[in-house]
Chain A
Amino acid sequence: MLSNLIVQFINGIALGSTYALIALGYTMVYGIILLINFAHGDIFMAGAFVGLLLVTVFHVHIIIAFLGAMLFCMIMGIIIEKIAYKPLRRSTRLAALISAIGVSIFLSNLANLLFGAKPTSFPPTEQILFKIQTYELVAGAQITNLQILTIVTSALLMIGLQYFIKKSRTGKAMRATSQDYDTAALMGINVNRIISYTFAIGSSLAAAGGVLVGIYFGVVKYNMGFMVGLKAFTAAVLGGIGSIPGAMFGGLALGIGEMLAVAVGLSSYRDAIAFGILILVLLFKPTGLFGTQIQKKV
């Protein structure tokens, strides 16, 4: 029983670290333009498909496929922002949100047309990466090298992002823009470029998450972005939307929570549990664990 709990806990960390990668995109975009980027989950799906195509059709190495998927989604994120969100920046938030939902529906159903409704499977791990080995931890609990790889890759990307946001000039401009959009523009920050950077970084992290999930679970499906995207959004809200450490923490917490629910035998309710957490957080602490209160003015 204890070893089962530890195994599910480790599964939860591996799953949660991918949620965290995706949640970062939601939280960064929301921090700057106050928009829930519904299409983010579908960018994650696109990243998984691009990675899969690069491996199976173009026979490139998995690391190059990983980087290629990130680059592709980076460009895709920028284009989506330019087409669907930029013209709506000064209109109501409802309009921008509906537009984002439109992009999401468009992308997932386009993938359905292109790749079919059946799940496409990734090549076996030992062909593209390495042979899966399990290592014994305490009390009979095991961890696989694939899980270690997923966790380490996510952690590296998140540390890199944190460094970028805190230290680089662009990162500072991003933080300034998220604090006050208009004042940042007055201080000479090219706000449009910062927004493009934000979408580019968020989308490439989602693509990284997509490839990792694709390898980890072995299958890619056209509508995989919907549920994962919603859960990543839940993670972002749980940690406090707009807060980058919050998104990382929220992702891990949600992943672990979900896997523990599976461990106690509630696996058919795991989606309902994630949404239940979301609704409870929104009701009792809408700013999340690390978020800041925004005063609303007329």
Chain B
Amino acid sequence: MGFIDGIIPPYYESILITVGIYIIMALGLNLITGVTGQLNLGHAAYMCIGAYTSAMISLKLGLPFFVAILAGGALAAVFGFVIGYPTLRLTGDYLAICTLGFGEILKSVLLNIPAVGGAMGIAGIPPKTTLTITLIIMIIVIISMVRVENSRFGRALVAIREDEIAAECNGVNATKYKLQMFSFGCFIAGIGGALWAHKIMVLQPRDFGFLKSIEILNMVVLGGLGSIPGTILGATVLTSIPEILRFSSEYRMVLYGALLVIMMVFRPHGLMGGVSFNTLAKRSFGWLKPRSKSDDKPEQKEMGG
């Protein structure tokens, strides 16, 4: 363990950790919004729950880091279940508003609880997030997302995205699948939040507002809704470019806003929409073997009516 920590300069290592954490959180949102088509505007809230839970466990109980991470993820998943149970019956834009509302409610509740520091937040969290831990969790999350995508569960989610009523007519229990999916996505967000808390060491409620959710949404949209390699690309690009170009945060948010509109108008499927790891491998290494007809089949078939 820890064999790659400290090899590269700390500044770049810190950027890599940030990229890894954002990939984890963006993959959680990709499952909810990209694969299943349920717009979640409160993803930062679940990240916030994970971050606060793990920070409290590390600080007050002093338990090992992986317990704090798992507890953060678990509590985020519980909240995802409790919030999702009533709200996932709502369609599209109403769900979006409800998730946004939950995010704002959570923020204003945290601001008023003195036990978690109120507006001052929590400080002095031990810096336990290393590059190794981030990479290991990131790889586990990527593998599990690919496994979900290729499973019966994943196909049911895609069917729900394409047409919920048609999917239900074909025997997909949409409510159950959406609830499981949402809890899982929130679990991933909570884990990402736990890593985040132990990286930046200071938590304040206003760091987890609407703009944070939009930042994560942007990564998924840029990469391509529903595409795992696309989400990884989107998270990497949007996390590292501001670091390289040294944008001020105001310019970045103006660009993010314009980016959302431009992507939706000109390229609604993102940079790599509908591309999975399989197609990526075929496209990259297809020239190695003789071409057969089956390689040229279109990847995404229309589903539902």
Binding site for B on A (CB under 8 A): 35-36, 83-84, 87-88, 91-99, 101-110, 112-113, 117, 226, 230, 233, 237, 268-269, 271-272, 275-276, 278-279, 282-283, 286, 296-298
When distances are taken between beta carbons in the complex, the residues of chain B under 8 Å from A87 are: 265
Q: Note all chain A residues with C-beta closer than 8 A to B86.
A: 283
Find out whether the CB atom of A96 lies under 8 angstroms from the CB atom of B264.
yes
What residues on B are CB-neighbors of A103 within 8 Å?
257, 261
Q: Is B136 part of the binding interface, using a Cβ–Cβ cutoff of 8 Å?
A: no
Q: How far is the CA of A35 from the CA of B99 in the complex (A)?
A: 17
- For B254, the chain A residues whose CB sits under 8 A away are 105-106, 109-110, 113
Checking B102, B225, B257 against A107 with a beta-carbon cut-off of 8 angstroms, the contacting residue is B257
Q: If A94-B92, A99-B264, A105-B214 touch, does A275 touch B257 (CB 8 Å cutoff)?
A: no
Name the A residues within 8 Å of B100 (CB-CB): 230
Please tell me if the beta carbons of B257 and A276 are within 8 angstroms of each other in the complex.
Answer: no
State whether the Cβ of B250 lies closer than 8 Å to any Cβ in chain A.
Answer: yes
Of listed B96, B169, B225, B304, residue having the most chain A CB within 10 A:
B96
Q: Which residue of B lies closest to A42 (CB)?
A: B257
Distance between Cα atoms of A298 and B169 in the complex (Å):
10
How far is B51's CA from A168's CA once the two chains are assembled, in angstroms?
56
Chain B: minimal CB distance from A275 (Å): 4
Tell me if B94 is interfacial: C-beta within 8 Å of chain A. Answer: yes
Residues of A within 8 A of B261 (CB): 83-84, 99, 102-103, 106
**Number of CB contacts from chain A to chain B under 8 A:** 134
Contact B39 A298 (CB under 8 A): no
Does B150 count as interface, using CB distance less than 8 angstroms? no
Q: Jot down 11 A-B pairs with beta carbons below 8 A, ordered by A.
A: A88-B264, A91-B268, A95-B268, A97-B39, A102-B261, A272-B104, A279-B98, A282-B98, A283-B90, A296-B165, A298-B304
Least Cβ–Cβ distance between B38 and chain A, in angstroms? 9
Contact with A along B230-259 (1 / 0, CB 8 A): 000000000000000000001101101111
List A contacts of B225 (CB < 8 A): 94
Residues in B whose Cβ lies below 8 Å from that of A95: 264, 268
Chain B 82-112 residues near chain A, CB threshold 8 A: 86-87, 90-94, 96-98, 100-102, 104-105, 108-109, 111-112
CB 8 Å contact bits of B132-158 with A (1 = contact, 0 = none): 000000000000000000000000000
In the complex, given contacts A94-B33, A98-B39, what are 10 additional A-B residue pairs having Cβ atoms less than 8 angstroms apart?
A: A84-B265, A99-B264, A104-B257, A105-B214, A105-B253, A107-B257, A276-B101, A279-B98, A282-B90, A298-B163
User: Are B93 and A93 within 8 A (Cβ)?
Assistant: yes
Interface-centre pick from A87, A237, A272, A283 (highest chain B CB count, 10 A): A272
A109 to B215, CA, bound (A): 13
Cα-based distance from A94 to B160 in the complex (angstroms): 14
**How many B residues touch A, CB cutoff 8 Å?**
50
B171 at the interface (CB under 8 A from A): no
Report the Cα distance A237→B100, complex, angstroms. 15
Neighbouring A residues of B251 by C-beta, 8 Å: 113
CB distance from B207 to the nearest CB of A (A): 15
Which residues from A are CB-within-8-Å of B265?
83-84, 87-88, 99
**What is the distance, in angstroms, from A33's C-beta to the closest C-beta of chain B?**
12
**Nearest A residue to B99, CB-CB:** A279
A298 touches B108 (CB 8 A): no
Is A226 a contact of B210 with CB atoms below 8 Å? yes
Task: Report how far A84 CA is from B305 CA in the complex, Å.
Answer: 27
C-alpha spacing A268/B262, complex, angstroms: 38
B217 within 8 A of partner (CB): yes
Question: Given the complex of chains A and B, what is the CA–CA distance between A107 and B96 in angstroms?
Answer: 20
Q: Give Cα A276 to B90, complex, Å.
A: 16
In the bound complex, CA of A298 to CA of B93 (Å): 18
Which among A88, A102, A268, A278 has the highest number of chain B CB atoms within 10 Å?
A102
* With A109-B253, A282-B94 as contacts: A102 and B260 at CB distance below 8 Å: yes
Instruction: From known contacts A84-B261, A84-B265, infer whether A275 and B92 are also in contact, taking CB-CB under 8 Å.
Output: no
- Whether B229 sits at the interface, judged by CB under 8 Å, is no
* B274 within 8 A of partner (CB): no
Question: Which residue of chain B is the closest to A86 with respect to CB atoms?
Answer: B265
Q: Is the CB of A112 within 8 A of B250?
A: yes
Q: Are B221 and A98 in contact (CB under 8 A)?
A: yes
Asked, given contacts A101-B214, A286-B94, whether A279 binds B101 with beta carbons under 8 Å apart, the answer is: yes
